[in-house]
Amino acid sequence: MDADDRYYEQDRAEMRALVPAGARRVLEVGCGAGTFGAALKASGVGEVWGVEPSDASRRAEQVLDRVIAGTVDEAIPQLPGGHFDWIVFNDVLEHLVDPEQCLRELLPKLAPGGGFIASIPNLRYYKVLRDLVLKGEFEYVEHGVMDRTHLRFFTPKSVARMWDRLGCEVLEKRALNTRRRPWLRALSWMTLGATEDIRSPQFGWRVRPRT
């Protein structure tokens, strides 16, 4: 399996943990080859849709209930209103020109009580800060927070403000792939938790519109 296959076939177990038990209909935007969605179906989710602009959509069609081959902007008019319990973005929002507008247009596609689940890179990650502050570097790379295909950058606070502007309440915020180096823990303790978020390159979010 080459690097492209691995990229499109991640099952993202840490993000599946954010999908509540009892979810019936899930849409994954940027579903790749459908590995994440297939795992959801195996865990009991009845219906999983995907949106995927790459050729991996053909593989996703074999394991998901429906796949729209195209960008999310192209897919939105094809999605049924009030249908999905959860709409999932696994490291996708940062690739969009206007992620907030995309989310706004997807709000009517949520079923009552439904919401969004997203993993979003954290620009305050300590390695990014180290390179910027100590080395004066802001270089794009192949993968990670500074992926060269990222169009938007977020911190946990800016993400929280985005959800608020969309009229959503945060049900769960989860640090992902947190580094456990002792000096990072000590720094968090010395700053009374103000630097705790720099330990994590991503955060997972589960939110829903306020009633």
Signed CA dihedral, 133, 138, 142, 144: sign only: positive
Could you tell me the residue ranges of all domains in the chain? 3-123+151-180+201-209
Signed CA dihedral, 152, 147, 41, 63: sign only: positive
Give me the pLDDT at residue 8, please. 59
Q: Which amino acid is at 185?
A: R
Q: 2 falls in which pLDDT band (50, 70, 90)? A: very low
Q: Mean of the pLDDT values across residues 42-71? A: 96
CA distance 199 to 62: 38
The torsion of the CA quartet 65, 104, 163, 149, rounded to 10 degrees, works out to 70
Burial (Cβ within 10 Å: 0-12, 13-18, ≥19) of residue 90 = buried
Q: Which of 18, 12, 16 shows the shortest CA–CA distance to 171?
A: 18
**How many other C-beta atoms are found inside a 10 Å radius of the C-beta of residue 36?**
26
Model confidence over 71-105: pLDDT tens digits? 999 999 999 999 999 999 999 999 999 999 999 99
Give me the pLDDT at residue 186, please. 95
Model confidence over 117-168: pLDDT tens digits? 999 999 999 999 999 999 999 999 999 999 999 999 999 999 999 999 999 9
CA distance 190 to 181: 15
CA distance 137 to 32: 31
How far does Cα 46 stand from its chain's mean position?
21
Please state which CATH number belongs to domain 3-123+151-180+201-209.
3.40.50.150
